[in-house]
Structure 1
Amino acid sequence: MRRGRAVLESGGGRGRPGYSREDILRAAVDAFNAAGYEATSMGALADRLGVTKSALYHHVSSKEELLGEALDHALGALGGVIDEVTEFDGTDMERLRLLVRGTTLALCAEAPSVTLLLRLRGNSDVELRAMDRRRAYTRTVVDLVSGAQADGDLRADVDPPTVGRLLFGMVNSLVEWYRPNGDLSPEELAELIGKMAFGGLVPRS
């Protein structure tokens, strides 16, 4: 993998604007999300960047390399939230609230790469490994739900795996409609999702 600060020149001439590794990755994620990973070729990506395919191959060995890097980016953001929750000295219910808030903020910050992660089909080793890591995060939620039930902080008549999927499903749905310039900030969205997840919509009597 060719990392570093090398710049990919566009247009083939000196003095033309160039693309950093981050620019290439961002363009790849946008292309994968728009047309699908399988349908996006290196040639199509080169056209999107306005460079030749050979120039792109000088910096990137394959589209799978870009996919792996993008998924690592998304999983790294979510993994950071898991680490924070694990290290937090509180009850499982408090950790669960922190997890829902943290994953909401992470998704808003890294929406394109998380969108790519959520649309994986498992057609390659890179995708399968990413899906395994994603399932591990879901198991963390399930464990926290079970712990909160045992502590009496969460109703006992709900199935932990189902609750875990529903919580992540609510957060993950943001990729379909969240826009950075929308009416609600990430912090406001995180607060609203927390209220809906743990307080419901019906006012308490």
Structure 2
Amino acid sequence: MSENGSLRRGRPGYDQQGILDVAVAAFNQYGYDATSMGVLADRLGLSKSAIYHHFASKDEILDRALDTALGALEGVLEEAAHPELVDGAAPRRAADRLDHVLRGAVHVLVEKLPYVTLLLRVRGNTEVERRALARRRAFDKRVTALVSEAQAEGSLRSDIDVRVVERLLFGMINSIVEWYRPGGAEDADRLADDVIAIALDGLRMPTSNRVQELLG
């Protein structure tokens, strides 16, 4: 970036974000290791030196791409943890916060589909990838803790291990990258409703059971 924080521009039509979008598409198509700077230069119609004007290395491009996906997902968790910062509402039940995280994750996936697809393909072959995986694990742990809190408050059934619940929920959400196509019949809101209906509603504690538990 330039000193004033704006995106540097090279040839017309290619700022850092434009190069990043093209690079992410190439990484998803060919794989990160198989995508050289020469391949990126060919796809962009730029010289390699023009790319280096924006990014110091291919690793920096990957790091920026993975941070885009992870930052958006972490932002959803922060909104759930601090609902008063979002809509001024009082703190919500854990189950409501979990609902918010799942819906938000679906929106992130739809809005940043190529970036999340790349994130889900990371295997830890480089230091950049290992840092991304560590952030993913931290995200998963926070969601697991939220599931545990929802079980403890009696909102979710407690006969399923919290780690299994988290993996099943995000296994479903993450699988969306394999078949979802932008511009299809379902937008992000409808898709989030469907995920909640299939995944979370089946975990909710029936009202009669919650009353019995409260009465002892």
Please report the TM-score for the alignment, with normalisation by the length of structure 1: 0.90
Q: Write out per-residue CA displacement over residues 171-194 of structure 1, whole angstroms, 9 at most, x where no aligned residue.
A: 111111111201101000001100
Residue 124 (structure 1) shift:
1.0
Does the residue aligned with 1:61 lie in a helix, a strand or coil?
coil
For 2:25, give the aligned amino acid. D
Confirm or deny: 8 A CA contact 1:4 1:21 kept in the other structure: no
Aligned to 1:178, the other structure's residue is in SS state: coil
Q: Percent identity?
A: 52
Task: State the partner residue of 1:12.
Answer: none
2:98 is aligned to 96
1:181 matched residue in structure 2: 183
Q: Return the alpha-carbon distance in structure 2 between the equivalents of residues 121 and 62 of structure 1.
A: 19
Amino acid corresponding to residue 82 of structure 1 in structure 2: L
Matched, 1:56 2:51: yes
Residue number in structure 2 paired with 1:154? 156
Structure 1: tracts of 5 or more residues without a match:
10-16
Partner of 2:9: 7
Please give the root-mean-square deviation of Cα atoms over the aligned residues, in Å: 1.6
Q: Helix, strand or coil for the counterpart of 2:123? A: coil
Q: Is the 8 A contact 1:74 1:110 kept in 2?
A: yes
How far apart, CA to CA, are the structure 1 residues paired with 2:20 and 2:50?
15
5+ residue gaps, structure 2, are: 84-90, 207-216
Cα distance in 1, alignment partners of residues 8 and 200 from structure 2:
47
1:96-150 residue CA offsets vs partner (Å, 9 max, x unmatched): 1111111111111111111111100101111111111111111111111111111
Question: What is the aligned length?
Answer: 194
Letter in 2 for 1:56: I
What is the CA–CA distance in structure 2 between the aligned matches of 1:60 and 1:144, rounded to whole Å? 38
- Normalised by the length of structure 2, the TM-score is 0.85
1:42 paired residue number: 37
2:17 paired residue number: 22
1:58 CA displacement:
2.6
2:109 aligns to what? 107
1:86 Cα offset (Å): 0.7
Tell me the CA shift for residue 55 of structure 1: 2.2
Could you tell me which of 116, 125, 128 is aligned with 1:126? Answer: 128
Give the 3-state SS of the residue equivalent to 1:5 in structure 2.
coil
For residue 8 of structure 1, report the CA deviation from its aligned partner.
2.5
One-letter code of the match for 1:43? G
- Aligned partner of 2:213 in structure 1 is none
Alpha-carbon offset, residue 54 of structure 1:
2.3
Q: Does 1:87 align with 2:82?
A: yes
Question: Which ranges of 4 or more aligned residues in structure 1 deviate by more than 6 Å?
Answer: none
Aligned partner of 1:165 in structure 2 is 167
- In structure 2, the partner of 1:14 is none
